[in-house]
Structure 1
Amino acid sequence: VDPYFLEDAFNRTNLEKELYRISENTVTKFIRHIKFDTKVSGYDLDETEEISADVYGLMHARYILSTDGLKEMKKKYDNAEFGYCPREKCYQQKVLPVGSFFEYKENNKHKIKNE
C-alpha cells in the first residue's frame, strides 16, 4: 500500500467503526505503528501486532480498489506475479488473488479499550 494512501485521513474514513469501534485517533496510532514500528500505548505487543495487521488488511482492501491500486494490480497481473491456473484446459491463463468476504467478521473484532 502506498504510504501516502495510509497517511490520507480520507482513506481512513469510518475505519474505526468498521473494525474496532475505537477512536479515529487510535486508528491513526496503529497506522503510525505500521509505517514506523512505534509503540501504541495501552496495548501490549501481541495486541498491537494483531490489530495493526487487521488495520493494514482493511487499508489494503481499500487501496486495491483505488485508481492507483488497480493500476498496480494490473501490472502484477500482466507480469503473472500471482501465477497461472494449474488446470490443463486453462492454457496457462494468468490468475488473480480473490478474497471470500466483503466485510470483516464480527467474531474477529477486538475488545473495546477505554481511551
Structure 2
Amino acid sequence: MSKEEEEEEYTSDSGSEFSEYWVDWFLGTKGNEYFCEIDQEYITDKFNLTGLSSEVERIPQSVDLITDNLKIEDISNDLRDHLEYNARILYGLVHQRYIITSRGLVKMQEKYKKADFGYCSRVFCQLQHLLPIGLSDHLGVSSVKLYCPKCEDIYNPKSSRHSVIDGAYFGTSFPGIFLQSYPGSVPIHPTQRYIPKVFGFNLYEHGKIARWQELQRLKLVERLAGRGIELRNKPNGYIVNKRNNNEDDEDNEDDENTDVQIKDV
C-alpha cells in the first residue's frame, strides 16, 4: 500500500482526522484492533527508539505528536500530514518492541483472552484463539499474519483492513515469547487429522501418509511412557512421574534411524 492510499484509509476510517488524543484516535481507527496501547514513558524513552532513525524521519516531532505535545495548529497541512504518516510508522515499530516487555505482554494477554486477534479457521482447532505475528522484523516485507498455538500454523487475517498492516509492527518473536511467558496459554495439541475419502475409502497417497504419521505418533507415546512421561489431554506439556529421569537417550537415536515399512491396504 502506498503512502497516499494509507493516508486515505486512515482519514476515511476516523470520524475526524485528528481527535483530542492521538493514541486514542489511532487505536480507535478501524483495522488497528491488533495494537495495544504503549505506555507514554516507554515511547518517550530515547533508548527504546534506538536504531529507528533509518526507518522514520523526524522522530522527535513524531513522538511529540503521539504524546499530544505537538501544537498542530502551528504547522502547515503538508508537514502535519507528513508527521502523521511518520507517527503511525513509529508507533508500529515501537509496538514491536513494547509487546515483548512484561507490561506489553500483559496487555496483549488481555487481548488474546478476548480473542481480539480472531479464531483459527481449522476445524480440529475448535476456535483456538490466535496471536499476531510478522514474517519479518523489517518494514515492507510482509503483512501481519495470525499464528495458531494449537496447530502451530499461520493464517492470513480475514479482514482486508488487517491484511494491510505491516508484520514488522508485531515481529517474528512475539508468539514464542508470549507462550513462554504464559505457559498456561499453550493449548492441547489436536491428534485428529482429516483424511480425504472417496465413497468412504481413503485416497491412496493421503492414506499412506496418514498411517505413517499415526505410527510415528504412537511410537512417540510409547517411548514417553517407557520413560515415565505420561501423555494426557492437558495444556502445555507432559506429566513426569517420580522416577529416575537420568536415563541415556540411545534408544531415541535408534528409533529415529529405524526405517519403517508401511504396507498399503
Give TM-score scaled by structure 1 length: 0.73
1:82 deviates by 1.6
Query: Amino acid of the residue matched to residue 15 of structure 1?
Result: L
Structure 1 counterpart of 2:51: 14
Q: Between Structure 1 and Structure 2, which shows a larger proportion of strand residues? A: 2
Query: What's the CA shift string for 1:41-65, capped at 9, x where partnerless?
Result: 6862221111111111111111112
CA distance in structure 1 between the aligned counterparts of 2:51 and 2:136, rounded to whole angstroms: 18
Structure 1 counterpart of 2:61: 29
Following superposition of structure 1 onto structure 2, how do residues 87-102 of structure 1 map, counting pairs within 5 Å? 87-102=122-137
Query: What's the CA shift string for 1:58-102, capped at 9, x where partnerless?
Result: 111111121211121122212322221122111111111222321
Higher relative contact order (CA 8 A, sep 6+): 1
CA distance in structure 1 between the aligned counterparts of 2:115 and 2:140, rounded to whole angstroms: 30
Following superposition of structure 1 onto structure 2, how do residues 36-55 of structure 1 map, counting pairs within 5 Å? 36=68, 38=70, 39=72, 44-55=79-90
Structure 1 counterpart of 2:39: 2
Out of 101, 104, 118, the residue aligned to residue 69 of structure 1 is 104
Give TM-score scaled by structure 2 length: 0.34
Structure 2: segments with no counterpart, 5+ residues: 1-37, 142-265
2:62·2:84 contact (CA, 8 Å) conserved in 1?
A: no
Residues 56, 81 of structure 1: alpha-carbon distance in 2 compared, 3 angstrom cutoff? same
2:119·2:127 contact (CA, 8 Å) conserved in 1?
A: yes
Sequence identity percentage: 32
Query: Amino acid of the residue matched to residue 88 of structure 1?
Result: V
Number of residue-to-residue matches in the alignment: 101
CA distance in structure 2 between the aligned counterparts of 1:88 and 1:74, rounded to whole angstroms: 24
Structure 1: segments with no counterpart, 5+ residues: 107-115
CA distance in structure 2 between the aligned counterparts of 1:94 and 1:105, rounded to whole angstroms: 26
Query: Amino acid of the residue matched to residue 53 of structure 2?
Result: E
CA distance in structure 1 between the aligned counterparts of 2:60 and 2:89, rounded to whole angstroms: 13
Range 91-100 or range 77-86, more displaced: 77-86
CA RMSD of aligned residues (A): 2.4
CA distance in structure 2 between the aligned counterparts of 1:99 and 1:37, rounded to whole angstroms: 31
Structure 1 counterpart of 2:156: none
